[in-house]
Structure 1
Amino acid sequence: MSPGSGVSRRPIASRGTSRATTKAHIMWAFLTLPAAIVGLAACGPGTETESAVRDRPNIIFLLADDQRADSLSSTGHAFSQTPSIDQLAEDGVRFTNAFTVEPICAPSRFAFLSGQYERTSGLGFNSPYQVVESQWQQTYPALLRDAGYFTGFIGKFGVQFYSFDGNAASKFDYWRGHDGWIPFFPKDFPDNPATEIYKDAQKDISTEIMGEYIEDFLDTRPEDVPFNLSVSFSAPHNSVVSTMYPEGADPDCESYACKVMGYPANENPKLAGHPVYDQLYREAEVAIAEDTGRDPYKFIPEGVIDHEARRKWYDYNYIPEMQPEHQVRYHQTVTGIDRVVGDLIGHLERLGIADNTIIIYSSDHGLLNGEYGTGGKALLYDLVAKIPLIVFDPRDTNADRENVVSEMVLSIDVPATILSYAGVPIPETMEGRDLNSGDAEREEIFLESLTVAEGNPFIEALRTREWKYVRYLQPLGCPYTEEHLDFSDEEIIFEQLFHLSSDPTERENLAGIEEYAEILSQFRKRIGIRSSELTDYGRQHKKNVSIEMRPEDDANCW
């Protein structure tokens, strides 16, 4: 494990009191592996019988796109309806302090695959590297496939355009994946290479097409081996990008905001009568973020971050009148995912495999919807970095455990946990921790944002349960170089210090107040050490895997 993955090694806190169980309840032991897995892990590679391989659990990993942790009814959202995901949370374990190590698409998605920070893997929007085959072989899909699992991928892969030499489809036994985001109605864009896999689908809406492919995977997989299915939705991201309402449908729309959010989506005839996308939430009382339309430089000064560059993609977040429509669409698409989750659970039950199928649900990152006067991702506020994380294991019947866990965990813990469920050894290259091990709690977590496009600086954060420190560093170019990641002598252009216990919404920056100077000094030292250690570790790892530079014209600097 790398130095960036935390400092604490004490076990997770004590279990809660027992509660009544239902047929579907997971009683997921957080301190010990289920006995079946312990036995499998003890066998080791190459020693298992065919029967032992068959008895391994099936594992499904569901990943949303841009879904905030507070968007579920189980997390207290005012009107969002997510009964199927909520049931997974009720019957499983919901982590209330789960964070992505980097809140933007490609590096976050590869972190879920590899268990690594971008600084280690080299995979990022603005990095100079491309993933090589030796790195892929240490991801959870590759390791599960090597261990006898039938593997499948459906949806947004997100790393293909700077990935290993070869086709991503060849890395899975079942492939219905694509690179990048896709429109809400993918078949309306036949010239978009990402929509190629959708052209023969029976349904029209991307999330529902993925549900169609999930059933196809389950119905056509070999039944004599366990399976791992990874599903990566494009929702709720595509409630905006190439939208539910046809972009450009009104020739009088000139701004991007008007084109994508200027009209109610249900004016699109294709959504008429749909149980989710027509009228759902249209009568809801939508709360608008208090900062919507306010000066964003109130929170991060001009010259530190270029909000005008961000506004290109998130213009509607600056316009209070457009927020209700955005919120309705956003939560409609979250409910759309929930319906697919419910259908998935029902199909597992019909096939008779629900009792041996683990389901993990998360998102690549959150999103700002007008908060702090801006929108989008890549910043390290909790609204962006915090993610939903639910783990459901139907085999565990331990009633003496709490199903809501508040310890801080990271996205890079997910692949290690998946491997532990399968009884597959966790490689040293993974920087995350197995959530089953009792060793996942951290006293502090390190977050980074190395995406320097859209006017972003390099950003690092160190977070404890009580405090959060964020520092902004001037980017020196795109793509960045390895030398740019040495921040030891880099001037800090802006700092934020939040006392989360009294300021959980991160509104009051204490960095310039004398009373907190000693705390600020301590965080500066600790983040400097953590950053340097992770940079050194990443450099060595890149040498170990013989990482390759990607073509100069593929810098992806927008």
Structure 2
Amino acid sequence: MKKTIKSVLLTSVIFLAACSPKEKKETVKNTKPNIVLFVADDHGKDALGSYGNPIIQTPNLDRMASEGVRFNNAYCTSASCAASRSVILTGKFGHATGSYGHVHDYHHFSTYDNVKSLPVLLEKAGYETARIGKYHVAPEKVYHFNTVLKADPRSTLEMADACVDVIQSEKPFFLYFCTDDPHRGHPFVSEPWNLPNTFGNKTEPYPGENQIVYDPNDVVVPDFLPDTKESREEIAQYYQSISRIDQGFGRLMTHLKEAGKMNNTIVFYISDNGMAFPGAKTTVYEPGIQLPCIIKDPTKKGNKGGVNNAKISWVDLTPTILDMANVPFDTKEFHGKSFNAIIEQENPKGWDEVYASHTFHEITMYYPMKVAIEGKYKLIWNIAWQLDYPFASDLWASSTWQSVYRNHSKMYGNKTVEEYLKHAEFELFDLEKDAGETNNLADKKEYQEVLKHMKAKLKKFQLETRDPWLIMWDHDNTLQGTGVDL
């Protein structure tokens, strides 16, 4: 009898141990993928081998593209660092969260404190959340990460090495890896004026860096930039900074492989906005908002090394990552939608429109613009069209712009200087026929129905996302509030 009781007790202990909360928790952990969101600073589609640049050396990112999926029509919602990053981490447009421009210094834009961000939602779901490098969002309680890693944000190799402990975590992890490259480097104003900005490059390599220097004569000058000595010298510096990113990205992938995490880690490579040259960053033209997006998801086998032509937006990233992480969420909580289900498709249906805007970069650069893109048509509404188009301080000081300004040149790339500084109230482009956005169709008689349709789409979008600039259509103040806290 005693033996029977002992046997029953032993069996019960073994059964309870097997069903203990700890064991269940481990089982849940193993079902969730790790996620790396790698965000470069001011990197356009113009400077990646996998996107067609034959000069720049980005072998690690190109390898990722050959093993994953490259998106051809990925857009940020605002071509300014802080404003874009707030959208990446919330799934909501900046006008709905108060994130209109830079958070630092006297600008002080900040996200409303009731917003639930991606890292907070993932932490609640059991993820270890860690960030390294550029942050540029506020307040911290909205964008809270469990772990903040320290390293020189210009040295992506050092940054990658600092992430080893997080990568080796027993918990599923979300790593937000944000470089300062290839943002322009300090000082923004050079002496003499025609020296190229360094883009963070130094005379000596960063620790472990294989410094790759480019000949200005070899670089590819995009159509929207002037093909001048100054432009070429700055593009060469920009390329060098990107090659440093690529090396750090490769080191990070090596750490994942050594930790045995490659088969359970989803990796994103994106940028917050386009290259830091006038005509791209801070504009809503294609070089400013259409960006690289490469995704490698080891659970997806289709379209490996292929392209995806869906129009996706950074407002879609938070719901997509939550979907990938098997974290339940209310789709109504986000302006974006998950594109997880269509990653393997080349031409998925129902993904043919995106929206974007820009209000501030620095507080002194007020120039609100709204964008609707559907199929091949793109509408830009320049709300403050009577003003000269303003410059971010670093772009004004760039030798690329100063060479045009000081020489009183009539042309700036594929536009006249006058066209660049003076925008029409409405700009309508056929992106299939006019990729360079030089032929405004808004005043053309034969395109008035298209213009009417695109305006209606933009108004509908503004109403649905409670954009206060909706008032500028007909001065309907219903979204403006009473000015009284209730």
TM-score, structure 2 as length reference:
0.74
Match of 1:515 among 441, 446, 452: 446
Q: Decide whether the 8 Å contact of 1:149 with 1:227 is kept in 2.
A: yes
SS in 1 for 2:177: strand
Match of 1:99 among 53, 71, 75: 75
Q: 2:215 — aligned with what? A: 282
* RMSD between superposed Cα atoms in Å: 3.6
Match of 1:155 among 121, 127, 133: 133
Q: 1:207 — aligned with what? A: 154
Q: 1:145 — aligned with what? A: 123
Q: Decide whether the 8 Å contact of 2:68 with 2:297 is kept in 1.
A: yes
Q: Decide whether the 8 Å contact of 2:132 with 2:148 is kept in 1.
A: yes
1:265–1:432 CA distance, 2 compared to 1 (3 A): closer
Is 1:134 matched up with 2:114? yes
Mapping for residues 509-548 of structure 1, pairs under 5 Å: 509-535=440-466
CA distance in 2 between counterparts of 1:502 and 1:274 reads: 45
CA distance in 2 between counterparts of 1:269 and 1:368 reads: 21
Q: Decide whether the 8 Å contact of 1:103 with 1:377 is kept in 2.
A: yes
Q: Which amino acid aligns with 1:130?
A: S
1:345–1:541 CA distance, 2 compared to 1 (3 A): farther
CA distance in 1 between counterparts of 2:23 and 2:368 reads: 47
Is 1:502 matched up with 2:412? no
Is 1:367 matched up with 2:251? no
Structure 1 stretches of 5 or more lacking a match? 1-45, 177-196, 199-204, 294-318, 478-491, 549-558
Mapping for residues 299-310 of structure 1, pairs under 5 Å: none
Match of 1:67 among 43, 48, 55: 43
1:472–1:350 CA distance, 2 compared to 1 (3 A): same
Measure how far apart 1:412 and its partner are.
Answer: 1.3
Q: 1:410 — aligned with what? A: 313
Structure 2 stretches of 5 or more lacking a match? 1-21, 343-347, 388-422, 471-477
SS in 1 for 2:341: coil
Measure how far apart 1:474 and its partner are.
Answer: 2.1
CA distance in 2 between counterparts of 1:241 and 1:269 reads: 14
CA distance in 1 between counterparts of 2:124 and 2:206 reads: 47
1:437–1:376 CA distance, 2 compared to 1 (3 A): closer
Q: Decide whether the 8 Å contact of 1:122 with 1:542 is kept in 2.
A: no
Measure how far apart 1:329 and its partner are.
Answer: 1.0
Q: Decide whether the 8 Å contact of 1:469 with 1:495 is kept in 2.
A: yes
Q: 1:217 — aligned with what? A: 163
Q: 1:315 — aligned with what? A: none
Measure how far apart 1:426 and its partner are.
Answer: 2.6
Q: Decide whether the 8 Å contact of 1:120 with 1:541 is kept in 2.
A: no
CA distance in 2 between counterparts of 1:214 and 1:273 reads: 12
CA distance in 2 between counterparts of 1:81 and 1:360 reads: 19
CA distance in 2 between counterparts of 1:454 and 1:466 reads: 33
Mapping for residues 391-540 of structure 1, pairs under 5 Å: 391-396=295-300, 398-399=301-302, 403-427=306-330, 428-438=332-342, 441-451=350-360, 453=363, 455-474=365-384, 494-535=425-466
CA distance in 1 between counterparts of 2:71 and 2:232 reads: 29
The superposition leaves residues 343-384 of structure 1 with CA deviations (integer Å, 9 ceiling, x where unpaired) of 111111111121111111101011364xxxx44522111110
Q: Which amino acid aligns with 1:207?
A: R
Measure how far apart 1:73 and its partner are.
Answer: 0.3
Q: 2:287 — aligned with what? A: 383
1:368–1:469 CA distance, 2 compared to 1 (3 A): farther
The superposition leaves residues 154-180 of structure 1 with CA deviations (integer Å, 9 ceiling, x where unpaired) of 0111113xx2569x6xx222203xxxx
Measure how far apart 1:68 and its partner are.
Answer: 0.3
Q: Decide whether the 8 Å contact of 1:132 with 1:164 is kept in 2.
A: no
CA distance in 2 between counterparts of 1:272 and 1:357 reads: 28
Measure how far apart 1:269 and its partner are.
Answer: 4.1
The superposition leaves residues 496-530 of structure 1 with CA deviations (integer Å, 9 ceiling, x where unpaired) of 11111211221111112222222222222322232
Measure how far apart 1:402 and its partner are.
Answer: 7.3
1:542–1:337 CA distance, 2 compared to 1 (3 A): farther
CA distance in 1 between counterparts of 2:479 and 2:240 reads: 42
1:233–1:516 CA distance, 2 compared to 1 (3 A): same
Q: 1:228 — aligned with what? A: 174
CA distance in 2 between counterparts of 1:334 and 1:322 reads: 19
Between the two proteins, what is the percent identity of the paired residues? 25
Q: Which amino acid aligns with 1:467?
A: Y
Measure how far apart 1:276 and its partner are.
Answer: 4.7
Match of 1:174 among 124, 147, 161: 147
CA distance in 2 between counterparts of 1:418 and 1:222 reads: 21
Instruction: Compare relative contact order (CA 8 Å, sep 6+) and give the higher one, 1 or 2.
Output: 1
CA distance in 1 between counterparts of 2:168 and 2:203 reads: 41
Measure how far apart 1:400 and its partner are.
Answer: 6.3
CA distance in 2 between counterparts of 1:50 and 1:273 reads: 38
1:271–1:215 CA distance, 2 compared to 1 (3 A): closer
Q: Decide whether the 8 Å contact of 1:497 with 1:511 is kept in 2.
A: yes
Measure how far apart 1:222 and its partner are.
Answer: 6.2
Measure how far apart 1:321 and its partner are.
Answer: 2.1
Q: 2:204 — aligned with what? A: 270
SS in 1 for 2:179: strand
CA distance in 1 between counterparts of 2:327 and 2:53 reads: 37
CA distance in 2 between counterparts of 1:283 and 1:410 reads: 33
The superposition leaves residues 178-202 of structure 1 with CA deviations (integer Å, 9 ceiling, x where unpaired) of xxxxxxxxxxxxxxxxxxx55xxxx
SS in 2 for 1:236: coil
